């Protein structure tokens, strides 16, 4: 069923009885041309573009839980293209362009809102670094405006400009940055893939990867064995476990990242704002909740919940930056399992096993990457060559020394 | 989360700095070649379950600890000083 404003009106008048499920619930077939393990944002977009751009039709996405139950439904939804390094910059630029056409492409309201992202800076050194980053963004063809203190005040009058600890010197405004509705992105790609014939199979945990003579031949699952010519591992925080099924040891450590949402408020924060000193960032959802978060809890973890010290730290950072939010009540906090790589950049690559591909290492920035990651992973799986904008996301770059350490913090998984 | 430092007793998590897997103790020799260094610096078992990792008692006794804990439940199972392990002659 095609969605439209007209459909909403007519269905409203007819008691909303005519809506049909957004996707089928098929039983797994015995064999597929391609299997994607993981029904998060990246797995679903990979399946969609495999079908859409490369004409594959016999594809399945295998998800151990429900579609969108992982990080794609747990993140704080910042969408931006403000990367610095060659390799990252063109990839995120490509992703933002795909975001800009996504609703028309998917016939689905993903609530992409380019409300502008402002990264604040608090020292002369930080200003220089942000000016340089802004120039890199412009060189890439994206947009960036360096704001001084008064420029920031025009956009964000509610910040505590007078604080002595971390005075606000200015900010880097990325007007095309913003946010989107996390679930909707997963649902939109799921529905789009289903309409192109992709089987979305939920409650189907992959428990083994079958390899014969150096070539992948299928997977073992909680719903039986399924044969496949090609298999893509797209499981974010669980990448190490699934890759281990094929005898691989990855450069990944899984860490916990928390986020928070307040009760619904009238519109008060109109941008996405990040605090350059306390690692705090905030935006307001369309329902009115203030959505915010901070750093990792810093220790390796698979518990989808965090500990109190980081809760305290995030609240302190928020109060330092914008004391007005102290009046809002926090409704919920939660955590997601992040696939942290040693340089903070992702991996989209073949493995040493023929027909087995890997898409992981998204750290805490993989939401904005959902469209381009799927686009490039599909390209890789269909053509066996890396896509132009993802060609530096190599699995062996750690060994060869071609790191993409955007923040220059060194090869420790929790420092990115 | 609280860690029991063998020297200082049970202490709040905020007193500790987390470094990473105990793999970091197996530092390769300077000539060990790129595979060994890749293994040391980047590759991890990344287990969902019982692991051993390195924590530094930063605002306590400044000792490095090997902590055995569960990454799924956050349960702390045991702690040991890196210095003790070295004394026992176990190659760290
Ligand atoms: C609190 C938080 C805030 C974040 N904020 C942002 C942000 O503002 N901007 C941004 O760009 N990014 C952000 N991220 C990061 C982003 O959410 C992730 O990088 C991205 O969602 C990961 O890719 P995914 O959607 O495919 O992962 P997931 O949704 O986690 O998908 C992986 C799927 O694989 C499935 N799976 C695992 N093992 C198996 C198996 N054996 N068999 C079958 N299926 C399996 C899982 O059940 C899961 O559904 C944030 C993350 C968190 C947790
Ligand atoms: Zn101590």
| CB proximity under 8 Å: A 273-302 to B | 298-302
C-alpha B58 – ligand 1 centre gap (Å): 32
Q: B2-84 in CATH: which number?
A: 3.30.2270.10
Residue ranges of the domains in chain B? 2-84
Residue of A102, A92, A90, A109 whose CA lies nearest to A45: A102
Closest ligand 1 atom to A43 CA: 26
Confidence of residue B90 (pLDDT cuts 50, 70, 90): low
Range of the domain at A194: 27-77+183-252+343-415
- CA angle, residues A66, A355, A210, in degrees to nearest 5: 70
- On whether both A262 and A409 belong to a single domain, the answer is no
Residue where a domain terminates, one of A293, A308, A340: A340
Cα-atom radius of gyration of chain A, to the nearest Å?
Answer: 21
Q: Say how many domains are in chain A.
A: 2
Task: Tell whether the model's pLDDT for residue A69 goes beyond 90.
Answer: yes
- On whether both A187 and A335 belong to a single domain, the answer is no
Residue where a domain terminates, one of A340, A362, A384: A340
- On whether both A323 and A211 belong to a single domain, the answer is no
First to last CA, chain A: 43
Pocket test for ligand 1, best of A72, A334, A371 (most atoms within 8 A of CB): A72
- Backbone angle region of A185, left / alpha / beta, with phi > 0 → left and psi within -120 to 50 → alpha: alpha
- How far apart CA A304 and CA A306 sit, in angstroms, is 7
- On whether both A154 and A277 belong to a single domain, the answer is yes
Residue where a domain terminates, one of A308, A340, A372: A340
- On whether both A317 and A286 belong to a single domain, the answer is yes
**Domain-embedded: residue A94:** no
Q: Is A240 in contact with B53 (Cβ distance < 8 A)? A: no
- Average pLDDT (A4-14) is 95
- On whether both A243 and A148 belong to a single domain, the answer is no
Does ligand 1 come within 6 angstroms of the Cβ of A206?
yes
Residues of chain B contacting A411 with CB distance shorter than 8 Å? 41-42
CATH code of the domain covering residue A40: 3.50.50.60
Does ligand 1 come within 6 angstroms of the Cβ of A372?
no
pLDDT at A163: 84
- Cβ atoms within 10 Å of A264's Cβ, excluding its own: 14
pLDDT at A276: 81
The 10s digit of each residue's pLDDT in A313-370 is 999 999 999 999 999 999 999 999 999 999 999 999 999 999 999 999 999 999 999 9
- Average pLDDT (A373-377) is 98
Does ligand 1 come within 6 angstroms of the Cβ of A374?
no
Residue of A68, A270, A291 whose CA lies nearest to A189: A68
- On whether both A154 and A272 belong to a single domain, the answer is yes
Q: What is the DSSP string of A141-164?
A: T---EEEEHHHHHHH-TTS-TT-S
Helix (H) or strand (E) holding A61: strand A59-62
- CA angle, residues A30, A35, A39, in degrees to nearest 5: 115
- On whether both A125 and A271 belong to a single domain, the answer is yes
C-alpha A286 – ligand 1 centre gap (Å): 22
- How far apart CA A290 and CA A267 sit, in angstroms, is 10
Residues of chain A contacting B46 with CB distance shorter than 8 Å? 240-241, 250, 252-254, 300
- On whether both A235 and A281 belong to a single domain, the answer is no
- On whether both A258 and A397 belong to a single domain, the answer is no
C-alpha A333 – ligand 1 centre gap (Å): 17
| pTM passes above 0.90 | yes
- Average pLDDT (A265-277) is 95
- On whether both A72 and A118 belong to a single domain, the answer is no
């Amino acid at each position: 069923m095609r969605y439209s404003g007209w459909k909403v009106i007519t269905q409203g008048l007819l008691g909303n009885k005519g809506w049909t499920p957004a996707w089928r619930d098929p039983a797994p077939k015995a064999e597929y041309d391609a299997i994607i393990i993981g029904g998060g944002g990246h797995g679903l977009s990979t399946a969609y573009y495999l079908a859409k751009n490369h004409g594959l039709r016999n594809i399945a996405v295998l998800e151990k839980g429900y579609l969108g139950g992982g990080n794609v439904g747990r993140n704080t939804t910042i969408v931006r293209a403000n990367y610095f390094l060659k390799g990252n910059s063109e990839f995120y630029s490509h992703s933002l362009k795909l975001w800009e056409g996504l609703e028309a492409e998917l016939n689905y309201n993903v609530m992409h809102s380019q409300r502008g992202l402002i990264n604040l800076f608090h020292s002369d050194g930080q200003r220089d670094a942000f000016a340089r980053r802004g120039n890199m963004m412009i060189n890439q063809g994206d947009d960036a405006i360096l704001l001084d203190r008064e420029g920031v005040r025009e956009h964000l009058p509610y910040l505590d400009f007078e604080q002595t600890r971390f005075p606000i010197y200015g900010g880097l405004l990325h007007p095309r940055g913003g946010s989107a509705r996390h679930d909707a992105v997963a649902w939109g790609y799921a529905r789009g893939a289903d309409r192109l014939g992709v089987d979305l199979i939920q409650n189907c945990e992959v428990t083994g990867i079958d390899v014969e003579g150096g070539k992948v031949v299928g997977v073992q699952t909680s719903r039986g064995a399924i044969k496949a010519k090609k298999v893509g591992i797209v499981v974010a925080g669980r990448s190490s476990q699934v890759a281990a099924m094929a005898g691989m040891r990855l450069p990944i450590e899984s860490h916990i990242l928390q986020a928070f949402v307040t009760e619904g408020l009238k519109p008060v924060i109109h941008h996405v704002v990040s605090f350059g000193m306390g690692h705090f960032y905030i935006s307001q959802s369309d329902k009115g909740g203030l959505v915010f978060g901070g750093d990792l809890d810093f220790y390796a973890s698979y518990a989808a919940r965090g500990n109190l010290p980081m809760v305290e730290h995030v609240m302190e950072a928020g109060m330092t930056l914008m004391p007005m939010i102290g009046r809002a009540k926090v409704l919920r906090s939660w955590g997601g399992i992040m696939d942290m790589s040693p340089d903070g950049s992702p991996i989209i690559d073949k493995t040493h096993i023929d027909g087995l591909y890997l898409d992981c290492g998204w750290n805490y920035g993989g939401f904005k990457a959902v469209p381009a990651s799927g686009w490039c992973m599909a390209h890789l799986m269909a053509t066996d060559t890396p896509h132009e904008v993802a060609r530096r996301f190599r699995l062996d770059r750690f060994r060869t020394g071609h790191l993409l350490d955007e923040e220059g913090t060194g090869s420790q998984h929790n420092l990115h | 989360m609280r860690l029991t430092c063998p020297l200082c007793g049970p202490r709040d998590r905020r007193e500790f700095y987390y470094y990473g897997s105990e793999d970091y103790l197996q530092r390769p020799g300077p000539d060990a070649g790129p595979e060994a260094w890749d293994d040391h610096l980047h590759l991890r078992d990344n287990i969902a379950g019982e692991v051993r990792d390195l924590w530094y008692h930063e605002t306590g006794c400044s000792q490095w600890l090997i902590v055995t804990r569960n990454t799924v439940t956050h349960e702390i199972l045991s702690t040991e000083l890196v210095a003790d392990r070295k004394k026992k002659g176990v190659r760290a």
